[in-house]
Amino acid sequence: MLANESEFRVKVAVRVRPFLQREKNHEQKSCIAIHPQTNQIVLGERRTFKYDFVFGPKTLQEELYRTSVEPMLNNVFDGYNVTIFAYGQTGSGKTYTMTGGNILSIGEKDYGIVPRAVKTIFDTVHNRHDCQVTISASYLEIYKDDIIDLLDVNDKDLDVRDDAAGNTVVVGASEHRCHSIDDVVSLLKKGSNVRHTGATQMNDESSRSHAIFTLYIEQRVRDKNSNANLVQASFDGLVKPIQSTFDESFLSAKLHFVDLAGSERVARTQNTGERFQESIRINSGLLALGNVVSALSDPKKRTGGHIPYRDSKITRLLKDSLGGNAKTLMITCVSPCTADLDESLNALKYAHRASQIRNKPIKNVDPNAQRFIEMQSEITHLREELERQRTILSRDGQSSNSRRSTGLNGVDHSRRLIQTAFVCFQQLNDCEDLGDEQKQWIQTWMDAVSNENSEDICNDILTSRVTNLESALHSAKDELRSESQMRVKREMILDRLQEQLKTKEDELNRVRMAMDESNYPTTTTKKSLPDRTKSAPHFGGVQRKEQSIQPRTIHSSPAVFGMDYVVERFHGRSLALAHSQEEIEELDLRNSDEKQNDEKKFFRRGTYRLRKNRLTPSILQQDDALQSLTESTINKQKLIEEVARKVKEAESKAQDLSINIQLKEQLIKSVYASTKDVKETNEQYEQHIKTLEKEVDKAKQEYHDLQKNMQQIATKNTSEKSKLEGEYRKKCEMAKARLESLQQKEKQYRDLMNKLSGNSEKRYVHSLNVLVKSEISMELH
């Protein structure tokens, strides 16, 4: 028997890291107490948790490895998949635990789990002479929900599938043969070089992606002592008889090391821009993982309930590690600081849930091949039984020997005839119409035949059982093959639909993120509110300009609203409208998600029906399955079209909103521009008027001086008097004319100025009207 049906509970270790230098500088207090003897951990004053392993701040890398990881590795050589993954808040020590820090610069003492496990595996391989082992490796990262091959960098986003044996397979991931520890370490270094990392407030070198390093170990085990008549099974589903003198079996296993990106609160990391986008993707992946862990830890959901593996790439990739066929160890890393208490509590709860998950590990042989082997061994057993019976017969009865020697074919034929007659007589004997004599005669004949042929009949029964079993075996094999083909086809269709849905979701996310970006600053922290309003692209320029403009001094009547007030109200209303639009979209999406879940249920029921009737397949049932598949595909397509239509609507509404905002912006700008122009012209006019007023005063003074002079002349003698008088009168008239023209000019300027400020006031009021009207129409819309 190759399969092991027993369950394996996911093992959980918790590691509390020491205080970092910067935490010591800030005199941070510890909120965690550890009890290694009982594997308990106490958070704060009251919360106590118990795990499989608990490690304190002083635990060395070597000790953690020997206690929790090394025992898991034996499973790999028994043909079981093993996954070791680190979970925890950013900066809690995941990367330190998995690799020991930056693999490019660490010393041997600090080596984490991965390099140590690689060493153990190669040591084991060198010491084993009973098998031939091949080791290869792949290194992937999930960055913003795209799977990237770190050892073959290109722009491809790889896809995840499940194979017939329930293994998760990343299609297109490169696998590299490793002959030594150095080969593996150089692959680790190569991948780490291109992995996405970056500095955040919480960690100077924070991993911005989930990293998955996998070792594939294949062994051809040679066992001289086994006498079993075995066949060799391989992953291509073919089963070949063994030709060699040794009995040989093929085992393979995957050893996953997963360093998850840390959960993080944007408020604490203070991430913006690209880091902010990364945070959103990291947190949504971890949320999906949390949902999977919760569903698996709930006994009701675990048995037959829906496990949301398809919600993110990381959950799809860890499908066989959580609730699947692997043996899994989760290492939860926590910080000891009181400031991180909330995050630590979450991580510990998460770890507790994970420890309730039960996997069903199976050795890695193809299930079809395994079933084939079981049937083969039953046939062998029956053949042996048949042979035994024949030997007994040949020993006991000469007659049967002589019958056989006269020609087996003829004997077989007459034996079959007798058997048919036997069955007919048996039925006739039960018939009530027969007379007693006839019944007696039949009974005598049947007794004679039974005595004569009991061994032969027994043999025949055995032979026909063998034949039946053989044909059942072949038809079961065919059935399995066609079923697995159908399953692959269905998987492909489902994947295609999922991809289409994902593209639409991405588009929607993009639109939503664009809106988020404009929404986020006004909704996150109160402190940053004034800054962010200023930095908002639509109104920043206007506001700065506004600050340099002094309060209006030239309008004839006071404004009803200040410009500040109008701009702020308008901005606030635009955001509120965008927000309500977003809520409508979210509601729509939720509805469509529910519909999709209904679809999934339907699809699952379909699959079950098909399976239940597996032993008596017929074209009709396949038609049913196909029809339900087609129906569900059509429904899904409708759903996708519906989502696409809603995305388009949301996009066009978002576009309308942004055009509207731009228009308003231009309007406000033009109001400001014209206000500024008017003010400048008015200032010039005022300057002119002041100059004119001065000139008028000067001219008045001159006129008065001239009149004074004329009065003085009146006292002088007549000849001189008349001459001077004529001269002064002329001057007086000229001065008077100039005074009059200056007064005229001043009046003109004043009129002009009044007219201009009146116009500007009207235009200002008109613009306000336009703004208010457009707001009203937007709300109605």
Is 633 annotated as contributing to ligand binding? no
Positive or negative, the CA dihedral 348, 353, 354, 356 is positive
Looking at the Cβ atoms of 85 and 96, the one nearer to ligand ADP is 96
Quote the least distance from Cβ 332 to ligand ADP, whole Å. Answer: 11
Quote the least distance from Cβ 95 to Mg ion, whole Å. Answer: 3
Site membership for ligand ADP, residue 606 (CB under 6 A)? no
Residues β-bridged to residue 41? 34, 49
Using the contact rule CB under 6 A, the part of the chain among 41-49, 202-210, 411-419, 518-526 near ligand ADP is 202-210
Which partner from the list Mg ion, ligand ADP, none does 92 bind, CB cut-off 5 to 8 Å by kind? ligand ADP
- Considering only residues 83-112, where is the footprint of Mg ion by CB under 5 A? 94-95
User: Is the Cβ–Cβ distance between 397 and 435 less than 8 Å?
Assistant: no
Q: 421: which 2 tokens?
A: 């007659």
d(CA 509, CA 208): 20
d(CA 154, CA 144): 15
Task: Write phi, then psi, for 130 (nearest 5 degrees).
Answer: -90, 5
d(CA 459, CA 389): 7
User: Is the Cβ–Cβ distance between 726 and 680 less than 8 Å?
Assistant: no
Is 91 annotated as contributing to ligand binding? yes
Which partner from the list ligand ADP, Mg ion, none does 93 bind, CB cut-off 5 to 8 Å by kind? ligand ADP
Q: Are strands 247-259 and 82-88 parallel, antiparallel or unpaired?
A: parallel
Site membership for ligand ADP, residue 20 (CB under 6 A)? yes
Using the contact rule CB under 5 A, the part of the chain among 206-214, 288-296, 448-456, 688-696 near Mg ion is 206-214
Looking at the Cβ atoms of 94 and 664, the one nearer to ligand ADP is 94
Looking at the Cβ atoms of 264 and 366, the one nearer to ligand ADP is 264
DSSP letter, residue 69 = I
Using the contact rule CB under 6 A, the part of the chain among 93-101, 220-228, 440-448, 570-578 near ligand ADP is 93-101
d(CA 539, CA 536): 6
DSSP string, 318-335: TTTTSSSSSEEEEEEEE-
Site membership for ligand ADP, residue 56 (CB under 6 A)? no
Among 237, 262, 323, 336, binds ligand ADP (CB under 6 A): 262
Q: 341: which 2 tokens?
A: 């208490």
> Residues 6 or more apart from 314 whose CB is under 8 A from it?
142, 210, 260, 285, 286, 288, 289
Quote the least distance from Cβ 207 to Mg ion, whole Å. Answer: 3
> Residues 6 or more apart from 513 whose CB is under 8 A from it?
277, 280
Q: Are strands 146-149 and 8-9 parallel, antiparallel or unpaired?
A: unpaired
Which partner from the list ligand ADP, Mg ion, none does 386 bind, CB cut-off 5 to 8 Å by kind? none
User: Is the Cβ–Cβ distance between 374 and 337 less than 8 Å?
Assistant: no
d(CA 328, CA 360): 11
Q: Which string of x and - marks every residue 215-254 that binds ligand ADP (by CB under 6 A)?
A: ----------------------------------------
Site membership for ligand ADP, residue 269 (CB under 6 A)? no
User: Is the Cβ–Cβ distance between 60 and 96 less than 8 Å?
Assistant: no
Half-sphere exposure of residue 478, counting CA atoms within 13 Å on the CB side?
8
CA angle 61, 64, 67 (to 5 degrees): 145
User: Is the Cβ–Cβ distance between 316 and 289 less than 8 Å?
Assistant: no
Size of the site for Mg ion (CB under 5 A): 3
CB atoms within 10 A of CB 281: 20
Site membership for ligand ADP, residue 685 (CB under 6 A)? no
Q: 684: which 2 tokens?
A: 């010039």
Looking at the Cβ atoms of 20 and 393, the one nearer to ligand ADP is 20
User: Is the Cβ–Cβ distance between 291 and 311 less than 8 Å?
Assistant: yes
Which helix (H) or strand (E) segment is 305 a member of? Answer: none
Site membership for ligand ADP, residue 92 (CB under 6 A)? yes
Looking at the Cβ atoms of 14 and 671, the one nearer to Mg ion is 14
Among 95, 219, 368, 757, binds ligand ADP (CB under 6 A): 95
Q: Which residue is nearest to ligand ADP (CB)?
A: 93
Is 37 annotated as contributing to ligand binding? no
Among 75, 138, 203, 332, binds ligand ADP (CB under 6 A): 203
Among 14, 53, 77, 94, binds ligand ADP (CB under 6 A): 94
Q: 262: which 2 tokens?
A: 């840390």
Which partner from the list ligand ADP, Mg ion, none does 31 bind, CB cut-off 5 to 8 Å by kind? none
Quote the least distance from Cβ 649 to Mg ion, whole Å. Answer: 41
Using the contact rule CB under 5 A, the part of the chain among 207-215, 320-328, 337-345, 352-360 near Mg ion is 207-215
Is 89 annotated as contributing to ligand binding? yes
Quote the least distance from Cβ 149 to ligand ADP, whole Å. Answer: 21
Q: Are strands 206-207 and 210-223 parallel, antiparallel or unpaired?
A: unpaired
Looking at the Cβ atoms of 92 and 581, the one nearer to Mg ion is 92
Q: What is the four-CA torsion angle of 53, 54, 58, 60, rounded to 10 degrees?
A: 20
Which partner from the list Mg ion, ligand ADP, none does 96 bind, CB cut-off 5 to 8 Å by kind? ligand ADP
d(CA 143, CA 207): 10
Site membership for ligand ADP, residue 101 (CB under 6 A)? yes
Quote the least distance from Cβ 203 to Mg ion, whole Å. Answer: 7
**Which value, in Å, is the radius of gyration of the alpha carbons in the chain?**
46
Quote the least distance from Cβ 86 to ligand ADP, whole Å. Answer: 7
Site membership for Mg ion, residue 207 (CB under 5 A)? yes
Q: Is 754 exposed, middle or buried (0-12, 13-18, 19+ CB in 10 A)?
A: middle
Positive or negative, the CA dihedral 753, 758, 761, 767 is negative
d(CA 401, CA 525): 100
Among 96, 111, 143, 372, binds ligand ADP (CB under 6 A): 96
Using the contact rule CB under 6 A, the part of the chain among 127-135, 198-206, 299-307, 503-511 near ligand ADP is 198-206
Residue 651 DSSP SS3:
helix
What is the crossing angle of helices 398-405 and 367-396, to 10°?
Answer: 110
Is 90 annotated as contributing to ligand binding? yes
Quote the least distance from Cβ 333 to ligand ADP, whole Å. Answer: 6
Site membership for ligand ADP, residue 603 (CB under 6 A)? no
Is 88 annotated as contributing to ligand binding? yes
Q: 367: which 2 tokens?
A: 């299930």
Among 11, 17, 195, 313, binds ligand ADP (CB under 6 A): 17
Looking at the Cβ atoms of 206 and 359, the one nearer to Mg ion is 206
d(CA 28, CA 57): 15
Which partner from the list Mg ion, ligand ADP, none does 232 bind, CB cut-off 5 to 8 Å by kind? none
Size of the site for ligand ADP (CB under 6 A): 18
Looking at the Cβ atoms of 92 and 138, the one nearer to ligand ADP is 92
Q: What is the four-CA torsion angle of 655, 659, 664, 670, rounded to 10 degrees?
A: 160
Is 475 annotated as contributing to ligand binding? no
Exposed e or buried b per residue across 287-313, where buried means at least 16 C-beta atoms within 10 angstroms of its C-beta: ebbbbbbbbbbeeeeeeeeebbbbbbb
Is 94 annotated as contributing to ligand binding? yes
Quote the least distance from Cβ 262 to Mg ion, whole Å. Answer: 6
Using the contact rule CB under 5 A, the part of the chain among 199-207, 349-357, 619-627, 726-734 near Mg ion is 199-207
Looking at the Cβ atoms of 340 and 366, the one nearer to ligand ADP is 340
Site membership for ligand ADP, residue 18 (CB under 6 A)? yes
Using the contact rule CB under 6 A, the part of the chain among 86-94, 582-590, 619-627, 764-772 near ligand ADP is 86-94
Quote the least distance from Cβ 565 to ligand ADP, whole Å. Answer: 47
Residue stretches of the annotated binding site for ATP: 88-95
Residue stretches of the annotated binding site: 88-95
- Residues near Mg ion, by CB under 5 A: 94-95, 207
- Residues near ligand ADP, by CB under 6 A: 17-18, 20, 88, 90-96, 101, 203, 205-207, 262, 333
